Structure 1
Amino acid sequence: MKIGILGGTFDPIHFGHIRPAQEIKQQLQLDEVWLMPNHIPPHKQGTHVTTQDRLAMAELVCNELPGFVLCDIEAKRDTPSYTVQTLSQLRQLYPEHQFYFIMGMDSFLSLNKWYQWQQLFGLCHIVVCKRPGWELTDNDPIHALLKMYIAPQNGASTSPAEVGKIFMLNVTEEDISSTAIRQQLQQGEIPVSLPTTVQAYIQDNQLYLPDTASNSQ
């Protein structure tokens, strides 16, 4: 099967994560999209709620959306979540699947700073969510990488055995941030950028309150 992988802290998960993933699933005709909460993000100090809560919120989204599946492979680790290690493990566990790792443009532009990033092209395709009309300039350091691995026609099908292509896909821009959502919740507001099931979970479990906002795990 063709599997999209969307990782993140999901602190909390919101429509800014979900809607682009839905669009990519449709554009590339993916069989499934796996939502993969990080446990210990290597580039962040920590999260504002527990890993268990973030897994639970992601699972609620998966229960609502056909073809969305929770992937807890990184959440089970006690070490930082490096993408190349995760993809290596997934390829070993599911050799029959073809993986498409989904990332935003900001992440793609810093890809050459990721841990063992060159190995990713032997493990998966990379899908970059770009804003309509956005173009990479020739002066950008990542431009040569894009020219080397760009997928033909930005969405042409690839053989099941093939990996290592970059798909640059236009997605609807979502001006949503987890930081802004947490601030709203701490002020007693219910952000409309959260699915109703996630809103209910946050309220029922009293997450992101002012007196707990500094806690991390």
Structure 2
Amino acid sequence: MNIAIFGGSFDPVHIGHEMIINKLSHLSYINKLIVVPTYLNPFKKKYLIDPEDRFKILDHMYRKNKNILISDFEINRNESTPSIITVEHFKSLYNPKKIYLVIGSDNLRTLHLWDNFEKLNKLVEFIVVNRDGYEVKNDIIQFKTINMNINISSSSLRDKLDIKYIPKKIQKKVTDIWNKELKKL
């Protein structure tokens, strides 16, 4: 069995994430796609939408797809979790033939700074999702590329609270959560 791990803040989940997950779930060399919302991204200091709410939204979107697992592994750790810990967890859980780790092309230039990068690089093959404005080349790793060219980011959505980039299936849930979180500020 080959697995792919797609981690991220998903704060909020947007149509770009939806497109990436759908594309990954149809790749013939991936048997199971594991989507892992973070408790807190190791490179960020806070989140807008609670980790449990992000998990519930993703689970709502994909619970009927048996080839996609939405995992609360990092959320249950209740702390920022480096990718190496997540990869080792799923390696021991599934004992896969191959592990793919999905990252955005914007992560390529700082990938060597990730915790235990050398070990991570030996355990996985990277799949890099191409995003407008980022060059997809790197001398450090070998990787597969998925060309999505989606010019959207969760951080810009949080700043503008622009619901049109949220998948229709979850727009009401995300709007309700945004409104609840904004009242806390």
| TM bracket, shorter-chain basis | 0.7 to 0.9
| Partner in structure 1 of residue 158 of structure 2 | 182
Identity %: 21
1:95 partner amino acid: N
Tell me the CA shift for residue 96 of structure 1: 3.7
**In 2 relative to 1, CA 122–170 (structure 1 residues): closer, same or farther, beyond 3 Å?**
closer
- Give, in whole Å, the separation in 2 of the partners of 1:181 and 1:134: 23
Shift of 1:88: 1.1
SS of the residue corresponding to residue 207 of structure 1 reads helix
- Aligned counterpart, 1:125: 125
Letter of the structure 2 residue corresponding to residue 53 of structure 1? D
Alpha carbons of structure 1 residues 199 and 123: separation in structure 2 relative to 1, 3 Å: same
Structure 2 residue 184 is the aligned partner of structure 1 residue 208 = no
In the alignment, structure 1 residue 116 sits paired with structure 2 residue 92: no
The 1:48/1:108 distance shift into structure 2, 3 A limit, reads same
How many Å apart are 1:64 and its aligned residue?
5.6
Counterpart residue type for residue 173 of structure 1: N
Distance 1:52 1:76, change over 3 A: same
5 Å-filtered alignment, 1:59-70, equals 59-63=59-63, 65=65, 67-70=67-70
Once the two structures are superposed, the pairs formed by residues 66-85 of structure 1 within 5 Å of their partners are 67-85=67-85
2:33 partner SS: strand
* Unmatched 5+ stretches in structure 1: 137-141, 151-165
1:201 counterpart letter in structure 2 = K
Q: Secondary structure at the match of 2:63?
A: helix
- What secondary structure is seen at the aligned counterpart in 1 of 2:34? strand
Question: How far apart, in 1, do the equivalents of 2:146 and 2:126 lie?
Answer: 14
Shift of 1:134: 4.8
Structure 2 residue ranges without an equivalent (≥5): none
d(CA) in 2 for partners of 1:43, 1:126: 19
2:49 maps to what in 1? 49
Q: Per the alignment, do residues 52 and 178 of structure 1 end up closer, same or farther by CA in structure 2, a change over 3 Å counting?
A: same
Q: For residue 171 of structure 1, what is the aligned residue in structure 2?
A: 147
Structure 1 position 65, deviation (Å) = 5.0
**3-state SS, counterpart of residue 36 of structure 1:** strand
* CA drift at 1:201: 1.4
Q: Residue type matched to 2:127 in 1? A: V
Q: What CA distance in whole angstroms lies between the structure 2 residues aligned with 1:131 and 1:178?
A: 13
How big is the alpha-carbon RMSD for the aligned residues of Structure 1 and Structure 2?
Answer: 2.6
